[in-house]
Amino acid sequence: MAHLNDSIAALQEKLQLLLKRFAQLEKENQQLKTSLTHQKEATELIEKQFKDNQAQWTASMLNKAHMDPSEKEKLVKQIDQYIKEIDANIKNLNP
């Protein structure tokens, strides 16, 4: 009977440790979710600002009357690269 009581006590002790660990992990999980939400909001804000600035810059570049074709092609490639980088950042935020 003493062996059974020792086993139950050991099991209860292990259970308490597991419950403490679970509570810690739950707290950490909530903190990570909050952090991720803040990072997503910040990224969305930066992305919006970037797109606005990029649109303004593109419009100003396209409004230049004397833009030669090679300059225009370079501009289009830069814009495409920016879009790829934005898409990659969005993809990294949503695993």
Q: What is the pLDDT of residues 47-65, one digit of tens each?
A: 888 888 887 877 776 666 5
pTM score, whole prediction: 0.52
Q: What is the pLDDT of residues 18-42, one digit of tens each?
A: 999 999 999 999 999 999 999 888 8
When pLDDT is averaged across residues 2-7 and rounded to a whole number, the result is: 84
Contact 67, 61 (CB under 8 A): yes
Helix/strand/coil for 94: coil
Q: Which residue has the higher pLDDT, 17 or 80?
A: 17
